[in-house]
């Protein structure tokens, strides 16, 4: 059976700032136009919301940073609160990438910074063992898994989670249209955002792809057809899954 030929693919993520992406290579390979338009965005909680948590940042001796996003929103709050971080503050980072990102806000060489070599919180085990008496603040998003907090609890460390940011729908502007033959999602909130912005959305022969099992479930739960999914044993990345899909699509499609 003939299917719709995919000519425009909407990637629901920001456009790569360095101009490099495997999607561009796929675009050239299959003569497909790739558009980048995030369906979600991350925003910081308001000062009023933060104050309702009754947390004084300077009461803490260490900060657990789980992402660059956490770093950005933590220091944004500090700036609005007119708080300068003391040189004695310790930073426990989920990876070296996050640790180096701190240079955007502090003088790196003058600070006590520890990072996991594995990208997992367990990689900080030695640092936490050595600094077991610290009073830790953990910036977290509004919706977060408990992996990091459960680990800190298991180590009997003193810690306080603080909601500092959240993921919300990135609404389409008035007159902005959805013009794509295929849409790729990366989160359940992205799926919700599409249906919020286009409540009359009918999939028809528009192909839908996604990355992640929770996103796949959200798509199916909304009664939409999932045409391309990653990761799988065969296609561990979204670009690999999309490559296989486009190859098959061009075999079967008609304009």
Q: What is the CATH number of the domain that holds 248?
A: 3.40.50.10090
Identify the domain boundary among 167, 200, 235.
167
The CA distance from 31 to 173, in Å, is: 28
Both 56 and 35 in one domain: the answer is: no
Both 112 and 26 in one domain: the answer is: no
The number of folded domains in the chain is 2
Range of the domain at 111: 43-167
pLDDT digits (tens, 9 = 90+) for 218-250: 999 999 999 999 999 999 999 999 999 999 999
Q: Average pLDDT of 10-32?
A: 90
75, pLDDT greater than 70: yes
- The pTM of the full predicted model, rounded to 2 decimals, is 0.72
Which is nearest to 198 in space by CA: 67, 12, 5? 12
Both 92 and 124 in one domain: the answer is: yes
Both 47 and 160 in one domain: the answer is: yes
User: Is 117 within 8 Å of 89 (Cβ atoms)?
Assistant: no
Check residue 3 and give its pLDDT.
Answer: 67
Return the DSSP state at 61.
S
Both 101 and 32 in one domain: the answer is: no
Angle CA 140–141–147, to nearest 5: 60
Reported in sequence order, the residue ranges of the chain that DSSP labels E, i.e. its strands, are: 3-4, 8-11, 33-36, 40-44, 62-65, 90-93, 112-115, 135-141, 158-169, 182-185, 207-211, 228-230, 253-254
% the chain with pLDDT above 70:
98
pLDDT digits (tens, 9 = 90+) for 153-197: 999 999 999 999 998 888 888 878 889 999 999 999 999 999 999
The CA distance from 109 to 146, in Å, is: 31
Identify the domain boundary among 167, 198, 225.
167
Q: Average pLDDT of 103-110?
A: 85
- Both tokens assigned to 48: 């009023």
Check residue 1 and give its pLDDT.
Answer: 42
Both 119 and 136 in one domain: the answer is: yes
């Amino acid at each position: 059976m003939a299917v719709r030929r995919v000519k425009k693919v909407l990637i629901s993520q920001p456009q790569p700032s360095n101009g490099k992406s495997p999607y561009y290579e796929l675009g050239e390979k299959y003569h497909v136009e790739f558009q980048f338009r995030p369906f979600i965005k991350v925003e910081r909680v308001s000062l009023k919301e933060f104050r309702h948590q009754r947390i004084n940042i300077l009461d803490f001796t260490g900060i657990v940073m789980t992402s660059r996003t956490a770093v950005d929103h933590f220091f944004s709050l500090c700036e609005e609160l007119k708080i300068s971080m003391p040189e004695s503050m310790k930073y426990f980072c989920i990876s070296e990438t996050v640790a180096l990102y701190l240079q955007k806000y502090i003088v790196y060489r003058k600070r006590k910074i520890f990072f996991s070599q594995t990208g997992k919180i367990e990689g900080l085990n030695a640092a936490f063992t050595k600094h077991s008496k610290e009073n830790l603040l953990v910036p977290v998003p509004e919706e977060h898994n408990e992996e990091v907090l459960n680990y800190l609890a298991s180590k009997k460390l003193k810690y306080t989670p603080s909601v500092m940011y959240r993921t919300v729908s990135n609404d389409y502007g008035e007159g902005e249209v959805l013009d794509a033959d295929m849409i790729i999602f990366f989160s359940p909130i992205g799926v919700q955002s599409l249906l919020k912005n286009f409540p009359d959305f009918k999939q028809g022969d528009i192909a839908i792809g996604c990355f992640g099992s929770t996103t796949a479930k959200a798509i199916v739960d909304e009664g939409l057809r999932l045409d391309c999914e990653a990761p799988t044993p065969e296609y561990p990345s979204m670009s690999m899954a999309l490559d296989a899909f486009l190859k098959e699509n061009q075999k079967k499609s008609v304009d």
